[in-house]
Structure 1
Amino acid sequence: MSARFRLLAAAALAVTASSAAPILAKTPGAANPLIPRQALYGNPVKAAAQISPDGSTLSWLAPVAGVMNVWVAPIGKPDAGRPITNEKTRPIRQYFWAPDGKSVLFIQDKGGDENFLLYSVDPKTGQERSLTPFTKTRVQLIGASTVHKDRILVGLNNRDARFHDVHSLDLATGKLTEVLRNEQGYVGFLADNNLVVRMALKANAKGGQDYFQVTDNKIAETPFASTGLEDALTTNPAGFTVDGKTLYWVDSRGRNTAALVAQDVATGATKVLAEDTRADVGGTLSNPTTGVVEAYSVNYLRNEWTAVDPGIKASLDFLKKNLRGDFSVSSRTDKDDLWIVNDDPVTAPGSAYLYNRKAGKLTKLFTPRPELVGAPLPAMHPRVIKARDGLDLVSYLTLPFGTDTDANGVPTAPVPMVLLVHGGPWARDVYGSNRAHQWLSNRGYAVLSVNFRGSTGLGKSFIEAGNLQWGRKMHDDLLDAVDWAVAQKITSADKVAIMGGSYGGYATLAGMTFTPTKFACGVDIVGPSNLETLLKTIPPYWAPLVKQFHDRMGNPNTPEGLALLKERSPLYSADKIVRPLLIGQGANDPRVNQAESDQIVAAMKARSIPVTYVLFPDEGHGFARPANNIAFNAVAENFLGQCLGGRAEPIGNDMTPSTAQVLEGAERIAGLTAARK
């Protein structure tokens, strides 16, 4: 499957920033100007560039009446762009070209409920159609083809919310034809280039997955391969070559880090193509015509590409030589002669380029945030921090601009710090431009992000070290990172805040309750407070994976597991909170229900413990609408300013365009009560 068609795997938060006036240029030793929140978290002027399969048309996301929509322009006339979608409330966050290039497809949910439906729009006429006109349904992309370009395979859970059935979708007529009914709880399917379903994946009793051969849409009774819990997050099929003779795997079986493996479909023989003892093989670049992998990436401290094909090597070498920072290839034509490439220099805003491989020419398309040109964007420093048991924690540190005069990653004097904890927890932090790092460092804080045990991408033993360690060793890793930062004189022990979303929100609540005097304050965004209720309210389409959640978090169906979940739930230790806490929540969050925030706020109120609670009725697991993002960050930076002494742009009128409801504690943050009126 082409990378163009992998966008439906999950929904990311919106890309958001603004088109404000340019910011005062940075000069070494000069004052560090305050970057407006709008510049980082409003709409970009353009974003997410792609190219049509035939190379005739460029596309991108840009605002229409303040809402991100899809635009197109002829390849030779990028200034002649025009919008082809007309979303009026919620930004489009993911879109892609149909295989035949006759339409642009995008997904959209309602208010953050993550029931993503698929829509089609004609780039010539702007005519839009709903391709999955259902309610309470979440679409999955299962297969696309270089041969049968007029249709794709999709998974729909409209029959049973727990399971996705495979359908063939005619892109011209919108007709859906059921191909395979999923009545046995399969979690996924893999198709070849002929849109023939070849494999079915199912969670097993070991906490891993079983892989079943599919023939004529009949699933074999016994699996041909299996994984246990230890390989569940590091082993998966990665697609067939176009001729269907080779199946690629990202595979950790028999090793610690996931390798790129090629399997001969006829004989079953496997060959390791690439591996790295430091980290898992992550991305690949495959030939659009043959599907053969031509390059792969490994992300330890930074993402590093290695070419397998000489032609791809020449192109990657050219890009490395001619671009300022780390780059990524986001779109390719069927002929593979034109690429869309994104450059990320970190200390300057990134840009999108059109790369003509034959001509060896790079043409700049746009800088999404031109108002950040010349802004004081500091460097990000990769660091490896030792946990108390010797485990290596890959981490990323950003310092306020101008505080690191000798550029060694240590400020001339300790500064306040925000420990920014990633979500998941089965995800990871990476090197690169990070809006939260840029925003918080500009406010005067060191920002430290830590890949604590349980994070992905660093081998299966690192993930396994986090099993049943929510609020314990996973939290200890965060504490060890703070102690490291204090010992390095990056910060002072009494000037550290903890902040994060999803699992990062849980980590914030754990910090406030389990180690109540370790942090000066905390900012929890959509974080679970009660692990027992979290597991009871997971989305129905996650039900086939619940065994893995139980094995990694605690099983509420056993006395021991239920006791562990309660012990690790911050809700039951809410009485220990002694430091200021800010909570942000989306009312429609399907992963971490609003009740997770409501109940800890209620527990704090019952004990007369102060808290500030901001609810967004039109958001889900995070804040997609720029106005809501800006509003919450306005509250957060003024909260942190009072707690740590950093700088803050006044809240001003930033609450007005948002849907924010301050349910508790407006009076505890300067300017918030007035901003609500």
Structure 2
Amino acid sequence: MIRYALPALLFAGVMPAHAQSAADVPLIARTKIFGNPSKTAAKISPDGKWLSWIAPRDGVLNLWVAPASDLAKAKPLTDEKTRPIRSSFWSPDSKAVLFIQDKGGDENFLLYGVNVDSGKQTNYTPFEKTRAQVLHISLKAKDRILVGINNRDPRWHDVYSLDLASGKLTLVQQNDGYGGYLADDQLKLRIAMKARADGGTTYYRVTDGAIDSKPLVEVGLEDSQTTSPWAFTVDGKTLYWTDSRNRNTAALVEQDVASGKTTVIAQDARADIGQTLFDERTGRVQAYSVDYLKQEYVAVSDDIKEDLAFLKKNTKGQFTVTSRTEAEDKWLVAVDPVTAPASTWLYDRKAKKLTQLYVSRPELEGAPLAAMHPQEIKARDGLTLVSYLTLPKWVDPGSSGKASRPVPMVLLVHGGPWARDGFGYNGYHQWLANRGYAVLSVNYRGSTGFGKNFISAGDLQWGRKMHDDLLDAVQWAVRNGVTTADKVAIMGGSYGGYATLAGVAFTPTTFACGVDIVGPSNLFTLLQTIPPYWEAGKQQFYKRMGDPTTEEGKALLKERSPLNFAGDIQRPLLIGQGANDPRVNVRESEQIVDAMAAKNIPVTYVVFPDEGHGFARPVNNIAFNAVTENFLAKCLNGRAEPIGDAVKASTAQVKHGAEFAPGLADAIK
């Protein structure tokens, strides 16, 4: 018999007089964390006359715009009825706001634009089964942009010049096997990128549409994710690279195009160079950021140094420059205090003045949000795993990062795996900590941002050393009094979902339960069903995961697929899946649910027919999280807000195992 929960008394003890109890910290409603923000993703037009942002219209996130001088005159630009718009950008002539949108999470993103004055909306890429890409926008070519469209061959994006006024598409370059292109500010293609058989990339110079036969630069697998050309200066004479060749972390390198001479502008032994601020007028680098434990800006040119110092001094939290005018006189700055909702500010450079535009989630002002604490955790072989810990308020009322007593823990694993967790407000950390759990997110080997050696350490290590890193982090949490070994759940999406399945299948008694969101269960079928437009990256997948075209690779993929060990699963499992997911096909979840059901192993399976790789619609995300927190409450003895009508309000289909998730059977009656 599977025991889902142990008495909460395991975590009781003698508390110091100043300590809080859970009863002292109110429950934060799910809707306040995962519902629509009031405003988000603001952009200032290049001419500085307009502000745009994303905000609800009739309950769905849409585009809004207002004169920069009078936000009271805001008006909606779009009228999406079901699927939220999640990002947008300005046309270079400041006449329209552009955005991409798919259908039901299929990731066939089409490009749209809305004229600010007339409100007319145009679908610039009105094609079926097509994924449009924005390749280059230049303020020096205000009437057009470059886009990639794969409607001729789904594997490759042909390059088109899009006339923004007429919507006319003009072919610039037919793509016969190149993974991408880099253009200059005159919208001329200058570099073409082609995948190599070893998982690396070859870069070729492009001259007047002709691609050189001789490589400009060749990069092997080791440097493939940390070396690439970034941008040309406006005069086209200088090319910036992110470059890890002959070093570990990616440096910012400047190359003279005529001579080929390179100069290192910035490097950091701890982490790759991250976001770069370029002068809108010249294209020259002004500043860069480094994100090791936290993000920090470093000025390159004197003209921006004073501004960054002013923002650091006058913002309460980590700040990010998100949008700037062409004249560089006004910036939009997002400020993240972690323990308060994020806000967006208008920065007037000349006046050295910050004006708050909005708070994204005002309903969280005054809420008991918990601090996030960066941690450096040592893996068993000595690698340093940059991680982030959030504790319930009542075991760390002083926000010290030290728990006064052990509490249950959720190991929250990021997707990718070639991505990373970072410092800042995290809705999942806040929600789970408020429910009574320590939350630990670990940048396991293979994560990006910490140099090429750290990425390569994850090669062929799915379910092995990458999983060992997660186990080592759990042991660190146990040793440091954060939790106890029998009270840890594992949860994540995409690769994090795979890690969850690996956790309950490969180490079946380590975790008390697992929550898998769009995670692959069978690495063979995962690689067979990747989208065709990922063709350029296929060899890199094979070299870093396992090659299904070789016997050795087949054996490795078989032994790393949780599906083949489904019979070993002993602990409760909850699975969420988008039916239209193009990255992790719905069969990835169906296969392991079927295998567990055939052996009468408890599993709860929830599918959303209008979602893809994750849940974009808040109503669906809230529904799955309602199921999740009640599932975790049974498993870990934490707190939970009742499911209520959350599932009924969504498109959720409970395909299997409603009886194993508390309250779910009643919620769907």
Report the residue type matching 1:560 in the other structure: E
Q: 2:536, 2:397 → 1: CA distance? A: 53
Partner of 2:641: 649
1:6-17 superposed matches below 5 A: none
Q: Which among 434, 442, 458 is matched to residue 434 of structure 2?
A: 442
CA drift of 1:42 comes to 0.6
Is 1:606 aligned with 2:598?
Answer: yes
Give the partner amino acid of 2:60.
Answer: V
Does structure 2 conserve the Cα–Cα contact (< 8 Å) formed by 1:91 and 1:625? yes
Give the match for residue 152 of structure 1: 145
CA distance in 2, matches of 1:373, 1:621: 31
Residue number in structure 2 paired with 1:491: 483
Amino acid at match of 1:205: A
Matches within 5 A, 1:355-374: 355-374=347-366
Task: Report the 3-state secondary structure (helix = DSSP H, G, I; strand = E; otherwise coil) of the residue aligned with 1:223.
Answer: strand
Give the CA deviation at 1:123.
1.1
Match of 1:535 among 527, 534, 549: 527
Residue in 1 that maps onto 2:234 = 242
Q: Partner letter of residue 40 of structure 1?
A: I
Q: Aligned ranges for residues 206-245 of structure 1 at < 5 Å? A: 206-245=198-237
TM-superposed CA distance for 1:146, in Å, is 2.0
Residue identity matched to 1:107: I
**Mapped partners of 1:320, 1:410: distance in 2:** 27
Output the TM-score relative to the length of structure 2: 0.96
* Per-residue deviation, 1:96: 0.5
- Equivalent of 2:586, from 591, 594, 597? 594
CA distance in 2, matches of 1:231, 1:599: 35
Letter in 1 for 2:149: L
Alpha-carbon displacement from aligned partner over 1:287-335 (angstroms, at most 9, x marks no partner): 0010000000111101111001112111111111110000001110000
Task: Provide the secondary structure at the position in 2 that maps to 1:482.
Answer: helix
Shift of 1:406: 4.7
After TM superposition, the structure 1 = structure 2 runs for residues 102-181 of structure 1, keeping only pairs within 5 Å, are 102-181=95-174
Does the CA-based 8 Å contact 1:262-1:272 persist in structure 2? yes
Specify the code of the residue in structure 2 equivalent to 1:550.
Y
CA shift at 1:28, angstroms?
Answer: 7.7
Provide the C-alpha distance between the structure 1 equivalents of 2:283 and 2:401, rounded to a whole number of angstroms.
Answer: 42
Looking at structure 1, the residues matched to 496 and 136 of structure 2 have their Cα atoms a distance apart, in angstroms, of: 33
Task: Specify the code of the residue in structure 2 equivalent to 1:139.
Answer: A
Aligned to 1:621: 613
> Which of these residues, 374, 384, 387, is aligned with residue 392 of structure 1?
384
- Alignment pair present for 1:263 and 2:255: yes
Counterpart Cα distance in 2 of 1:93 and 1:432 = 19
Residue 669 of structure 1, CA deviation = 1.8
Alignment partner of 1:68 is 2:68: no
Which whole-Å deviations, capped at 9, do the CAs of 1:520-552 have from their partners, x for residues lacking one?
000000000000100000000001211100000
1:246-325 paired onto structure 2 within 5 Å: 246-325=238-317
Q: Which residue of 2 aligns with 1:17?
A: none
Q: Which of 419, 436, 443 is equivalent to 1:451?
A: 443
On the 8 A contact 2:285/2:300 being kept in 1, the answer is yes
Match of 2:540 in 1: 548
Shift of 1:247: 0.2
Give 3-state SS (helix, strand or coil) of 2:394's partner.
coil
Q: Matched residues in 2 for 1:509 and 1:643: separation?
A: 16
The residue identity in structure 2 corresponding to 1:76 is S
Q: 1:479 aligns with which of 457, 471, 480?
A: 471
SS in 1 for 2:190: strand
CA distance, structure 1, for counterparts of residue 495 and residue 130 of structure 2 = 25
C-alpha RMSD over aligned residues: 1.0
In structure 2, the residue corresponding to 1:483 is in which secondary structure? helix
The answer to whether the 8 Å contact 2:198/2:543 transfers is no
* Residues 387-428 of structure 1: CA deviation (Å, up to 9, x unaligned): 000110000000001211454312111000000000000000
Q: Distance in 2 between matches of 1:441 and 1:560?
A: 43
CA contact (8 A) 1:520 1:580 kept: yes
Q: 1:41·1:629 contact (CA, 8 Å) conserved in 2?
A: yes
Q: In the alignment, is residue 526 of structure 1 matched against residue 518 of structure 2?
A: yes
Aligned to 1:22: none
> Structure 1: which 5+ runs fail to align?
1-26
Q: What amino acid sits opposite 2:506 in the alignment?
A: F
1:645 and 1:57 map into 2 onto residues whose CA distance is 50
Asked if residue 461 in structure 1 is aligned to residue 453 in structure 2, the reply is yes
- Give the match for residue 203 of structure 1: 195
- 3-state DSSP class of the match of 1:224? strand
Q: Distance in 1 between matches of 2:319 and 2:420?
A: 19
Give how far 1:31 is off: 1.0
The alignment partner of 1:157 has SS state of strand
Matches of 2:41 and 2:402, distance apart in 1: 34
> Could you tell me how far 1:655 is from its partner in structure 2?
1.0
Residue 13 of structure 1: aligned partner = none
Q: Are the aligned partners of 1:235 and 1:252 in contact in 2 as well (CA < 8 Å)?
A: yes
Matches for 1:178-197 after TM superposition, within 5 Å = 178-183=171-176, 185-197=177-189
CA distance in structure 1 between the partners assigned to 2:421 and 2:638 by the alignment: 24
Please give the per-residue CA displacement for 1:229-248, whole angstroms capped at 9, x wherever unaligned. 00000011110000000000
User: For 1:408 and 1:119, how far apart are their aligned partners in 2?
Assistant: 47
Equivalent pair of 1:405/1:412 in contact (CA under 8 Å): no
Deviation at 1:206, TM superposition (A): 2.3
Give, in whole Å, the separation in 2 of the partners of 1:142 and 1:38: 36
2:91 is matched by which residue type in structure 1? A
Query: 2:88 aligned to 95, 98, 103, which one?
Result: 95
CA distance in 1 between counterparts of 2:536 and 2:281 reads 35
Q: How many residues end up aligned between the 2 structures? A: 650
1:37 partner letter: R
Counterpart in the other structure of 1:24: none
Identity %: 66
Alignment partners' CA distance in 2, 1:250 and 1:622: 30
Establish whether residue 506 from structure 1 lines up as the match of residue 498 from structure 2.
yes
Q: Which amino acid aligns with 2:29?
A: P
- SS of residue in 1 equivalent to 2:395: coil
Query: Which amino acid is the alignment partner of residue 178 of structure 1?
Result: L
Deviates more, 1:75-84 or 1:528-537: 75-84
CA contact (8 A) 1:91 1:624 kept: yes
Contact 1:531 1:568 in 2 (8 A): yes
| CA deviation vs aligned residue, 1:442-492 (integer Å, no higher than 9, x gap) | 000000000000000000000010000000000000000000000001001
Amino acid at match of 1:554: G
Unaligned runs of 5+ in 2: 1-18
- Tell me the CA shift for residue 205 of structure 1: 1.8
Residue 59 of structure 1, aligned match among 52, 70, 86: 52
SS, match of residue 72 in structure 2: helix
The aligned amino acid for 2:516 is D
Q: 2:105, 2:581 within 8 Å by CA — same for their partners in 1? A: yes
Shift of 1:178: 0.3
CA–CA distance in structure 2, aligned partners of residues 142 and 110 of structure 1: 21
Match of 2:15 in 1: none
Q: Distance in 1 between matches of 2:198 and 2:524?
A: 22
Counterparts of 1:481 and 1:28 in 2: how far apart (Å)? 27
Conserved? CA contact 2:577–2:606, under 8 Å: yes
State the 1:79 CA deviation: 2.0
With the length of structure 1 as denominator, give the TM-score of the two structures.
0.95
Q: Which position in structure 1 is the counterpart of 2:326?
A: 334
2:335 corresponds to: 343
